[in-house]
Amino acid sequence: MGRSRGGFSSKIHAVTTTQGKPLHVALTAGQQHEAIKASELVEHAQGAACIGDTGYDSAALRDQARARGMKMVAPSHPTRKTKRRLDRKLYRLRYMVECFFHRLKRFRAIATRYEKSATNFLAAVHIACITMWL
């Protein structure tokens, strides 16, 4: 668990199916960037494409996804000198990840962060993910 401007916080990183069901969930401190867990998330991704936001736009991540036989779909980072073309048809599916996080935050213990240790909080997230599959 890390410290941010709002106090102690954490970030939940997830890989979901196209129906919004969780495949893999990871936890980092709130002040860390998404790219820290990006390669781990690509390892657990399944299918023909891996869809992410601008934080996941890097050449190394695209190479890792290509090595797994997937297409990396992420908008170009604003600081990138040469913009990459975005497959908008595939990128539309990214809202399912947001739907997953919305369903996850409906669990009160996760939304209000009852658990103080990162291990216990991740366990609560896993229990919530299990109930989403049931």
Q: Which has more pLDDT, 1 or 104?
A: 104
Q: Confidence band (pLDDT; 50, 70, 90) for 73?
A: very high
β-pair partners for 102? none
Q: Interhelix angle for 59-67 vs 35-44, to 10°?
A: 10
- Which residues partner with 58 through β-bridges? none
Residue 123 pLDDT exceeds 70: yes
131, 66, 54: which is closest to 94 by C-alpha?
A: 54
Q: What number is the average pLDDT over the span 52-71?
A: 90
Domains of the chain from N-terminus onward: 2-133 (3.30.420)
pTM for the complete prediction?
0.83
At a CB cut-off of 8 Å and minimum separation 6, what does 75 contact? 53, 54, 57, 86, 91
Percent of the chain with pLDDT over 90: 48
Task: Give 56's pLDDT tier (boundaries 50, 70, 90).
Answer: confident
In contact, 76 and 46? CB cutoff 8 Å? no
CA distances from 64 to 16, 52, 92, 102 (A): 18, 14, 22, 29
Tell me the one-letter amino acid at 126.
Answer: H
